[in-house]
């Protein structure tokens, strides 16, 4: 039903041969990509242009690259594709291979770690090296002061950092922590993954609370506790509402 609804919402797909391609593509997704049948409709709804791709010249080569070159185990394939269906639309040479080469050759990420990174955060393969990845790497190195020799390990452990916008996400957090929170860049240099937390839902409320109550705590300790654990530890702290 959701497939029919999807075609109704994207009638242009019918002109791209999606109707004749529908059953073979569904079969490919369920048999080759191991997508559960009850999840196929949602996948197509989130990435309808998958129906316009040739199975032989587009989908199969991409799947082969994911399995063979990225070493993604077959039993992890469905979870990976459902997390980021657009993976099936990325060019092997200009997107996936280019990004992998950059991480291995320029950032020093070990090849055997690439599979783990891709499974954890496949969206990374869809980012432009020049427009997205290089500026964020420069931000980590130059603005935060992460030592270059630690970069590969940080990216392997926290690949989502490279998906966050510098101007609307990373820089406002850095500016707040240094200028208002009173922390140093060294505090962030030790644990740049702290920048992945929400500014308004975690960073600001907790920093304001410990400052107002004159509690001496390391930044890592302030931010890494779960909301429940932080509230249990400190009477009077109210977890921000989900809408804030």
In this predicted structure, what is the pLDDT of residue 227? 86
Cα dihedral 232→238→242→243 (10° resolution) = -170
In this predicted structure, what is the pLDDT of residue 243? 40
Q: Per the structure block, which two tokens stand in for 199?
A: 């500014």
In this predicted structure, what is the pLDDT of residue 88? 95
Round to whole Å and give the CA distance between 78 and 106.
Answer: 30
Please, what sign has the CA dihedral across residues 13, 17, 23, 24? negative
List CB contacts of 55: < 8 A, sequence separation 6 or more: 21, 24, 25, 28
In this predicted structure, what is the pLDDT of residue 17? 54
In this predicted structure, what is the pLDDT of residue 124? 95
Round to whole Å and give the CA distance between 103 and 100.
Answer: 5
The radius of gyration computed from the CA coordinates of the chain, to the nearest angstrom, equals 22
Positions in the chain short of pLDDT 50: 243-244
Round to whole Å and give the CA distance between 28 and 196.
Answer: 36
Q: Per the structure block, which two tokens stand in for 59?
A: 């989908």
In this predicted structure, what is the pLDDT of residue 116? 95
This prediction has a pTM of: 0.83
Which H helix or E strand runs over 24? helix 18-31
Let me know: does 222 contact 242? Beta carbons within 8 Å.
no
């Amino acid at each position: 039903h959701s497939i029919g609804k999807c075609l109704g919402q994207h009638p242009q797909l019918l002109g791209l041969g999606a109707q004749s391609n529908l059953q073979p593509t569904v079969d490919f997704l369920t048999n080759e990509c191991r997508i559960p049948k009850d999840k196929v409709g949602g996948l197509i709804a989130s990435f309808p242009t998958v129906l316009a791709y040739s199975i032989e010249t587009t989908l199969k080569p991409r799947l082969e690259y994911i399995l063979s070159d990225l070493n993604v185990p077959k039993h992890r394939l469905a979870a990976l594709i459902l997390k980021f269906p657009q993976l099936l639309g990325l060019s092997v040479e200009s997107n996936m291979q280019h990004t992998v080469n950059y991480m291995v050759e320029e950032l020093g990420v070990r090849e055997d770690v690439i599979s783990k990174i891709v499974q954890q955060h496949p969206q990374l393969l869809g980012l432009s090296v020049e427009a997205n990845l290089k500026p964020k790497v420069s931000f980590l190195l130059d603005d935060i002061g992460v030592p270059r020799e630690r970069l590969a390990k940080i990216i392997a452990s926290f690949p989502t950092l490279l998906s966050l916008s510098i101007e609307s996400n990373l820089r406002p957090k850095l500016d707040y922590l240094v200028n208002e929170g009173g922390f140093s860049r060294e505090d962030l240099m030790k644990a740049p993954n702290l920048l992945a937390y929400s500014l308004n839902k975690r960073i600001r409320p907790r920093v304001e609370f410990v400052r107002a109550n004159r509690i001496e705590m390391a930044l890592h300790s302030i931010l890494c506790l779960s909301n429940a654990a932080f509230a249990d530890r400190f009477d009077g702290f109210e977890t921000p509402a989900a809408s804030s």
